[in-house]
Amino acid sequence: MIVHRPPAGNRRPRQKDAAALFISRARADIFAGPDRVGMGTPMEGRMSNPLLADWTGPFEAPPFAEITAAHVPEALQKGMDDHWAEIEAIAANPAPPDFANTIEALERCGALFGRVASVFFNLVASLGTPELEEVERDFAPKLAQHGSRVALHEGLFARIAAVHAQRDSLDLAPDARRLLERRYEGFVRAGAKLEGAARARMAAIAERMAVLHTEFGQNVVHDEKEWQLVLAEGELDGLPDFLREAARQAATERGVEGYAITLARSSIEPFLTFSARRDLRRVAYEAWIARGEHDGPHDNRKLIPELLALRREQAALLGYASYVDYRLADTMAASEANVHRLTDEVWAAATRRAARERDRLTRLARAEGMNDKIAPWDWRFYAERVRQAEFAIDEAELKPYFVLENIQQAAFDTAHRLFGLDFLPRPDLQVYHPDVRAWEVRDAAGGHVGLFLADNTARPGKRSGAWMSSYRDQEALDRPIAPIIVNNNNFAAGTPTLLSYDDAETLFHEFGHALHGLLSRVRYPSQSGTSVLRDFVEFPSQIYEHWLAVPDTLRRYARHHETNEPLPEALLQRLLAARNFNQGFATVEYVASAKLDMALHTHPDPASLDVAAFERATLAAMGMPEEIGARHRPPHFQHLFAGAGYAAGYYAYLWAEVLDADGFGLFEAAGDAFDAATAARLRRILEAGDTRDPMELYIAFRGEAPRTEALLRHRGLLEMAEG
């Protein structure tokens, strides 16, 4: 599963999709997109294909240096062929169906396919050559066809259904019982009970959606690669040194003179925050929000109505009134009403808070001679000025203390204090790009836990955003298998690379996901790590963000990149005092996208949709402040349309924040952010994967059900909600 940081800039709010459908080991469901694959040269013959050969290097890690895009088609096809033969063998087994020869046999299926798919889809996310994208386009429908063949295999489902019917008499262990029930439900939700034309149509829908998902994601990447704002020395007014250096490096990477602002979030948001040139801020902002909606072959507006219509048809075939009903039936939220109850409550408080923030920005702008209304390209600029005035905090003053390597070490050392993990650098291991670093993870007793890879900096072709994924998942069905986990971020490279506080929080967030994968202790591969309900998967990542703000963490690791002096205590206290500054804005832009997601997926006739007009009407109806833009506009909303992972589910970050704000309260009640007993209870959630119902896991950790007011209090919105 690929899991994402949402909005960087949203302090708390970030895919296991389809080609792998019910293939426990095959991770061909990655929400991703692509730079370079390996450094080897193509070789003839299957035995010389490194994706098909045994991996005999340290920890059986992928031989990245030997892999090229040319190796992928043969390996994917061989993986699918082998997997299909295994499926056929299970279905044709003459023995009566039982848990071992059907459900556990399925867990053993697709080992080669899963291994190849994991490597390919991770590389196409983190890299991005035309060769990789061509393979992705070519195989998207083939992988969907394969997934549908498995999901709609009548003989296979008959065996699964027979075992499921006996479940009460099988005396299964709790993890096995949940595996059986989730397997059965997964096949039903994929259409296994459909007949005739409906089955064929379900398969056709899956194939077409796979093509559209791939095209959508590649279109966004295209726009991000193609655009740049090249600046001369005289156009850098207001830009601090760290941003000038990052823009200079970006220009060098892109082969242009001067300084370049790109559509990487780590470039565009600081520019909007610091540039004193309002005209240039507008150019940059309008390019940022226009990704995916340019006339021509990369226009995502023409893809969205078809995707929405296909999803609605898919849900209708399965008996659901809308795609929202279909998706939420398999979540903690359970219903559209519950999602609206949460988002409406937060929206009301956030818009009131945002109105107060806007008025404060307007007063400052007027005092400085800007008489126009605050526009979306103005908000970050004036918010930073207000923050400096009210909290004596300047991002340019803070950033020199947040060095990438130090914050990565802070995340490691926090995991050591909470869970007894050690991270040992392994520069000897092959990696897929020079930016990537590798560590071996060991536990307190010195035993091997897994490998952790960090790919932290932005580069042309790498998909934007931040995410965690795996090259291999933990399991123990036949032998212990250790995970290989990767974190991808898109920080602006520098010498050294300096982070904003939001960047640092993003790193902690993704590392929380990584710990969910690394600490997994399950038997069955399809229950491993982050293979949990979509609106629970963000809990481990979001609760981990809290440890960045622990004063002891900041005192130890926020150190000036030149002097190594710690963050001055007065500045540290001002930083903590300002953590809820601008939360009206951050919450509004996130919740607007979550509400827009729900509106899009409940539209009664999406095939006729004028996407831009619908977006405007929906935002107007919800009372969207004109000074704030939605975090994601539909043409570049990859969470929804580059895969189905967060479709009708973008609310999940907010839902998980209820859990994380409430859950961290247990550490606060203990009086110690590193309380050993509480950390042990949290670790049990990370170890459990999908072996238990997530609400049961949460209540076992917290002692009671979560409360929404914890979220409002954490964001500083409780007073606004009560008002």
Given pLDDT bands bounded at 50, 70 and 90, which one contains residue 31?
Answer: very low
Q: Is residue 41 pLDDT above 60, yes or no?
A: no
pLDDT of residue 664: 97
Tally the C-alpha atoms within 13 A of residue 596's C-alpha that lie toward its C-beta: 28
Q: Which two tokens stand for residue 127?
A: 């890299």
Q: Which residues contact 17 (CB under 8 A, 6 or more apart)?
A: 29, 30, 31, 213, 643, 644, 645
**Residue 86 buriedness (CB in 10 A; 0-12 / 13-18 / 19+):** buried
Lowest average pLDDT, out of 25-34, 69-78, 333-342, 579-588, goes to: 25-34
Q: Which residues contact 126 (CB under 8 A, 6 or more apart)?
A: 32, 34, 35, 432, 433, 436, 455, 462, 463, 486, 488
Q: Is residue 573 pLDDT above 90, yes or no?
A: yes
pLDDT of residue 1: 52
Look at domain 400-566 and name its CATH class: mainly alpha
Query: By the 8 A CB rule, do 318 and 189 touch?
Result: yes
Taking residue 51's Cβ as centre, other Cβ atoms within 10 Å add up to: 24
Task: Dump pLDDT digits (tens) for 499-525.
Answer: 999 999 999 999 999 999 999 999 999
Name the more confident of 47 and 670. 670
Strands 3-5 and 229-231: unpaired
| Nearest of 34, 32, 6 to residue 19 by alpha carbon | 32
Same fold, 17-220 and 400-566: yes
Q: Kindly state the percentage of the chain with pLDDT values over 70.
A: 93
pTM across the whole model:
0.91
pLDDT of residue 404: 98
Task: Dump pLDDT digits (tens) for 252-306.
Answer: 999 999 999 999 888 999 999 999 999 999 999 999 999 999 999 999 999 999 9
Q: Which residues are catalytic?
A: 510
Q: How far apart are CA 23 and CA 187, in angstroms?
A: 11
pLDDT of residue 26: 34
Distance between terminal CA atoms of the chain? 40
- 564 Rama class: left (phi>0) / alpha (psi -120 to 50) / beta: left
The one-letter amino acid code at 241 reads: D
Q: Is residue 25 pLDDT above 80, yes or no?
A: no
Q: What is the DSSP string of 434-466?
A: TT-EEEEEE-TTS-EEEEEEEEEE--TTSPSSE
Burial call 462-492: b when 16+ CB within 10 Å, e when fewer = bbbbbbbbbbbbbbeeeeebbbbbbbbbbbb
pLDDT of residue 392: 92
Q: How far apart are CA 180 and CA 195, in angstroms?
A: 23
Q: How far apart are CA 450 and CA 59, in angstroms?
A: 8
The CATH fold of domain 17-220: Neurolysin; domain 3 (1.10.1370)
Query: By the 8 A CB rule, do 420 and 444 touch?
Result: yes
Tally the C-alpha atoms within 13 A of residue 584's C-alpha that lie toward its C-beta: 23
| Nearest of 618, 660, 597, 650 to residue 333 by alpha carbon | 650
The one-letter amino acid code at 722 reads: E
Q: Is residue 432 pLDDT above 60, yes or no?
A: yes
pLDDT of residue 352: 96
Domain 336-399+581-722 grouped into CATH 1.10.150.20 = no
pLDDT of residue 28: 31
Domain boundaries, the chain: 17-220, 336-399+581-722, 400-566
Supply the angle between the helices 611-621 and 583-600 in degrees, to the nearest 10. 130
Q: Is residue 45 pLDDT above 90, yes or no?
A: no
Name the more confident of 47 and 718. 718
Query: By the 8 A CB rule, do 129 and 459 touch?
Result: no
Say how far residue 673 (Cα) sits from the centre of its chain. 26
Q: What is the DSSP string of 52-79?
A: TS---SGGG---GGG--GGGHHHHHHHH
Given pLDDT bands bounded at 50, 70 and 90, which one contains residue 444?
Answer: confident
Task: Dump pLDDT digits (tens) for 315-327.
Answer: 999 999 999 999 9
Task: Dump pLDDT digits (tens) for 5-20.
Answer: 444 333 333 333 323 3
Q: Which two tokens stand for residue 215?
A: 């095209």
Angle at 362 between CA 358 and CA 366, to 5 degrees: 175
